[in-house]
């Protein structure tokens, strides 16, 4: 299994809702990432987990809450989002954080906040 | 600090013509460099990477890139464009340092249009 899966593929939520994005990989990678990509822009890093511990938070607002329950799974919990948070959320994994291993990207979850 | 600049936000070529997408980097340490492709409504797919081995790197789908330290460049080329190459292309540098984060810094992207 050489892929990163993300669910759901699309998500529409209101500003008062609570939802979660899920990312899974079974490649034995020990680093996992959340990126945010606005339309016509490059991805921007949000969080890095290394060995299930949060190693980087790129000053992301607290309405985004990451969680790494085990080495294969990465969640992003969403609460009280704003319309400007609408974007493509990409999960990625790599064998180790900072090594030469290729970051594998998932297909993304397209989030719309109403 | 590392950074990447992609010259040309939009490149248009005819089918069968040479593809050249430009990328210049800035890094205080030897960089790891990547080219990714993104098709509409999809994630990023790795085309190729440079990790300080051979300076000419061959990737998937007939693409290759040459690392030129003197020019701080990592341009992506393909001898003959195919209609299926139409997509968004991102050059990226991996941030390296004591924290060893694995963070990727992306260029602004280049949209490749292939005309029949």
Q: Which residues of A touch B103 (CB under 8 A)?
A: 33, 45, 48, 56
Residue A8: asked if its preceding bond is cis (omega within 30°), the reply is yes
Q: Residue B36 contacts by C-beta under 8 Å, 6 or more apart in sequence?
A: A105, B44, B45, B46, B47, B89, B90, B92, B106
Higher pLDDT, A42 or A98: A42
Neighbouring residues of B53: CB distance < 8 A, sequence distance ≥ 6 = none
Query: HSE (CB half, 13 Å, CA atoms) of B23?
Result: 30
Per-residue pLDDT, averaged over A83-100, amounts to 85
Which pLDDT score is estimated for B66? 95
Q: Output the pLDDT for position A100.
A: 56
Structure tokens at A72: 């294969």
Handedness of CA B89, A94, A47, A110 (dihedral sign): positive
Q: What percent of chain A has pLDDT over 90?
A: 74
Number of residues that make up chain A = 114
Output the pLDDT for position B101. Answer: 61
Stretch A50-56: mean pLDDT, rounded? 90
pLDDT of residue B98: 47
Show residues of chain A in contact with B35, CB under 8 Å: none
User: Which tokens belong to A9?
Assistant: 């593929």
Is A110 in Cβ contact with B102 (below 8 Å)?
no
**Tokens at B110, concatenated:** 């280049």
Nearest to B7 by CA among B97, B76, B100: B76
Residue with tokens 């990226």: B92
For residue A50, give the chain B residue with the closest CA.
B101
What pLDDT is recorded for position B30?
77
Size of interface A-B (CB pairs under 8 A): 68
pLDDT over 80 (residue A71): yes
How many other C-beta atoms lie within 10 A of the C-beta of residue A104?
22
Asked if the model's pLDDT at residue A97 lies above 70, the reply is no
DSSP characters over B42-105: --EEEEEEE-SS-SEEE-GGG-EEEEETTTTEEEEEESS--GGG-EEEEEEEE--STT----EE
**Which residues of A fall within a CB distance of 8 Å from B104?**
43, 45, 103
Task: Say if residues A49 and A113 touch (Cβ distance below 8 Å).
Answer: no
Nearest CA in chain A to B106: A42
Q: Which of A46, A51, A48 minimizes the C-alpha distance to A62?
A: A46
Alpha-carbon gap: B13 to the closest alpha carbon of chain A (Å): 20
For the segment A19-46, the average pLDDT, to the nearest whole number, is 94
Q: What is the mean pLDDT of each run of 10 residues along chain B (116 residues)?
A: 91 97 89 92 90 88 95 96 97 70 87 97
């Amino acid at each position: 299994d050489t892929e990163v899966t993300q669910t759901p593929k699309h998500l529409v939520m209101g500003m008062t809702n609570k939802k979660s994005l899920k990312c899974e990989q079974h490649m034995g990678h020990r680093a996992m990432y959340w990126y945010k990509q606005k339309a016509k822009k490059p991805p921007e890093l949000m969080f890095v987990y290394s060995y299930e511990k949060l190693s980087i938070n790129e000053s992301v607002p607290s309405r985004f809450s990451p969680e790494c329950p085990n080495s294969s799974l990465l969640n992003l919990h969403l609460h009280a989002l704003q319309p400007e948070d609408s974007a493509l959320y990409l999960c990625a994994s790599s064998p180790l954080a900072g090594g030469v291993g290729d970051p594998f990207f998932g297909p993304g979850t397209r989030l719309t906040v109403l | 600090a590392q950074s990447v600049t992609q010259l040309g936000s939009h490149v248009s070529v005819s089918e069968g013509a040479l593809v050249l997408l430009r990328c210049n980097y800035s890094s205080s340490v030897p960089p790891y460099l990547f080219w990714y492709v993104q098709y509409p409504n999809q994630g990023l797919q790795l085309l190729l990477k440079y990790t300080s081995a051979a300076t000419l790197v061959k990737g998937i789908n007939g693409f290759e890139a040459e690392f030129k330290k003197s020019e701080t460049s990592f341009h992506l080329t393909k001898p003959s464009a195919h209609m299926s190459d139409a997509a968004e292309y991102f050059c990226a540098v991996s941030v390296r340092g004591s924290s060893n984060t694995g963070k990727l810094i992306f260029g602004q992207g280049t949209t490749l249009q292939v005309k029949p």
